[in-house]
Amino acid sequence: MNDCERTQENIGRWFDDELNRAESERIRVHVESCTACRAAQQRMEKIDQALHGVLAAEAAQVEFTSFWRGVERRINERRPWHREWLDRVIGVPRSAWAVPAVIALLLALLSLDSYFPAWRGGVTRSGFAAVNSIDAHGRSVALLRENETKTTVIWLYDDQEGEDETAEEAPKAGPAF
């Protein structure tokens, strides 16, 4: 892109004083030395003047007093907090909701176990009562676990014959007391 193309591309923004100082100065210098770009600038000025003239003539016929009164009234009007909040929420672009919504959904899924431990069988998956440690103070003890009914039994008994009893047989053994 040469200087002329770049200038003419930005001439509208320059005219509206929207460019930074360096770019604005570059265009000013270029326009002074370039016939084509100066012509473009002049065209822009003519359009601006024409529009300004038309709008000024139209505006002179418009009654602004009631309009400004309405604006003033609306500025002074205290809006309820929920309306302001609603406007703010609805005013947010839809795409902006997607990210927090996805994050919240993921967090909710990850937190399900904490809040609802049984939702995917947390308790029912391993519904057994577990025995972490047993000290029978020298007596014999058996641990029975039955899958179908999820039953856990600690059974104390006398191991009178000194045999190793299996858990399944434990209830039939003689009690230790």
Partner 1 sequence: MKRLKKLLRLALLFSLVQVVAGDRVDAADPQSVQVTIGTILVSNQNDEFDPKLKSMEKQLRVLKYRSYRLLKDETQTVPWRGDKSFDIPGGRSLTVTPQEFQNNRVSLKVRLTERNKPLLDTTVTVPNKGHFLYLGGPPHEGGTLVLSISAAAQ
Closest to partner 1 by CB, 1 vs 90, is 90
Q: Shortest gap between Cβ of 136 and partner 1 (angstroms)?
A: 5
- Which one-letter amino acid corresponds to residue 88? R
- Count Cα neighbours of 46 within 13 Å in the Cβ-side half-sphere: 6
Nearer to partner 1, 10 or 152 (CB): 152
Chain residues in the site for partner 1 (CB under 8 A): 92-93, 95-96, 99-100, 103-104, 107, 110-111, 113-115, 117-118, 122-123, 127-137, 139, 141, 144, 146, 149-157, 171-172, 175-177
CB of 70 to partner 1, least distance (A): 28
Please name the residue that has the structure tokens 């359009």.
47
Nearer to partner 1, 74 or 172 (CB): 172
CB burial string 143-174: b at 16+ within 10 A, e below:
eeeeeeeeeeeebbbeeeeeeebeeeebeebe
Shorter beta-carbon distance to partner 1: residue 16 or 113: 113
The Cα 126–Cα 103 span in angstroms is 30
Spatial neighbors of 119 by CB under 8 A, at least 6 apart, are 112, 113
- Compute the least distance from the CB of residue 17 to partner 1, in Å: 23
Residue 11 vs 142, nearer CB to partner 1: 142
Question: In degrees, to the nearest 5, what angle opens at C-alpha 146 toward C-alphas 141 and 151?
Answer: 80
Minimum CB distance to partner 1, residue 161 (Å)? 17
Whichever of 61 and 132 has its CB closer to partner 1, that residue is 132
Question: What gap in Å lies between CA 175 and CA 139, rounded to an integer?
Answer: 10
The two tokens of residue 123 are 């308790």
Min dist. Cβ of residue 77 to partner 1 (A)? 25
Supply the minimum distance, in Å, between the C-beta of residue 116 and partner 1.
Answer: 9
